[in-house]
Amino acid sequence: MLIYLVVSLIAAAWLVPLIVVVLNSLRSNEEIVQTSMIGWPRQWAFGNYLTAWSDFCLAQTCVGIRPYMLNSALVTIPATIFSTLLGAVAGYAVSLWRFRGDNWIYGIVTLGIFLPQQMRLLPWTIVLRDTGLMNTLTGLVLIHTIQGLSFTVLFCRNYYVAIPQELIRAARIDGAGFFRIFWRIILPLSPPILVVTVIWQFTHIWNEFLYGVTFTTGQQQPVTAALIALSAAVADIPHHGVQSAAVMIAALPTLLIYLIGGKYFVRGLTAGAVK
């Protein structure tokens, strides 16, 4: 019984931050100012969500968090789809199709998992400036697609190496080409790894902050950058209730994905570690 007590206490501590945000998002600003950030709502202030979504002001523009959520979606969804599809094809190519130099190129691509973002900040700045993609969502999609490949190729390649080479050989003898084999044999076997890859990419791109804040400004920023801007604004005029609602809205997409596909999320987490 002691063990249940201990585990429940730790679990409760782990939930405190989440509970605090949820409760605060339903308390009025006056109430929070009078007491503290930790407390039960005396009056349910559901209006905080409406204000956070479409009303509050950030640098003189009063449009709420909605446009920034849209920006994040417009970056995350295409970049997730592109990097996953390209990663699946490339993973298939290096694991089953085999071509000269495949191990070399695969080795270099996966080094990208370790290379710090800081080593790529300046070159991306220059590339985006020269291609006119600075401060555009397209620029962020491009960055996340190319950088995401390091992870997606690793995930897919490690999954595909378990497929017997004979299957591919037999299909080739029957006259099937690269794309036909991918479409007819590889893709039908892929749903488990594609789910892991999509969840991983979506979570990471949605939560990314450094590139968002460096390469976009104002109305083009993703929601993580907008939250930091909001924190700075709240330091002047306390609006913690609305801010909590904004934080909840921004965290909701990845939290929902985690709730629905937690198993696959954890698989992605450990896949990188236990190579």
Partner 1 sequence: MVRRLPEYLTIWVPLLLSAAHLVSFSLWTIWISFTPSTLVPVSGWVGLRNYTSVLASRNWQIAFDNLLLFGSAFVLLSLVTGLTLAILLDQRIRGENVLRSIFLYPLAVSFVVTGTVWSWLLNPGIGIQKLVHDFGWTSFRFDWLIDRDMAIWTIVIAAIWQSSGFAMALFLAGLRSVDADLIKAAQIDGAGPVRMYRRVILPTLWPITITVIVIQLQFAISTFDLVRALTNGGPGIATQLPALVVYDLMFQRNLLGRGAAAAVLMLLILLSVLLPYAAWQYLQQRRAPHA
By CB under 8 A, residue 189 contacts partner 1: no
> Which of 56, 106, 155, 160 lies at the binding interface for partner 1 (CB under 8 A)?
106
Helix (H, G, I), strand (E, B) or coil at 216: coil
By CB under 8 A, residue 187 contacts partner 1: no
> Which of 81, 146, 163, 195 lies at the binding interface for partner 1 (CB under 8 A)?
146
Q: From CA 201, how far away is CA 79, in angstroms rounded?
A: 8
> Which of 57, 70, 111, 189 lies at the binding interface for partner 1 (CB under 8 A)?
111
By CB under 8 A, residue 115 contacts partner 1: yes
The tokens describing 203, both together, are 């979570």
Contacts of 34 (CB under 8 A, 6+ apart): none
> Which of 40, 60, 100, 118 lies at the binding interface for partner 1 (CB under 8 A)?
118
- Within residues 166-185, the interface with partner 1 by CB under 8 A covers 177-179
By CB under 8 A, residue 262 contacts partner 1: yes
Locate the DSSP E strands across the chain: none
By CB under 8 A, residue 218 contacts partner 1: no
Helix (H, G, I), strand (E, B) or coil at 268: helix
- Total site size for partner 1, rule CB under 8 A: 82
Q: From CA 227, how far away is CA 71, in angstroms rounded?
A: 13
> Which of 31, 39, 63, 74 lies at the binding interface for partner 1 (CB under 8 A)?
39
Amino acid at 29: N
Q: Smallest distance, Å, CB 163 to partner 1?
A: 17
Residue 186 has a CB neighbour count (10 Å cut-off) of: 23
**Residue 149 and residue 112 in contact, taking contact as beta carbons nearer than 8 Å:** yes
Mask 67-86, x = binds partner 1 (CB under 8 A)? -------------------x
Question: What are 61's strand-pairing partners?
Answer: 58
> Which of 49, 56, 68, 124 lies at the binding interface for partner 1 (CB under 8 A)?
124
**Residue 201 and residue 83 in contact, taking contact as beta carbons nearer than 8 Å:** yes
By CB under 8 A, residue 131 contacts partner 1: no
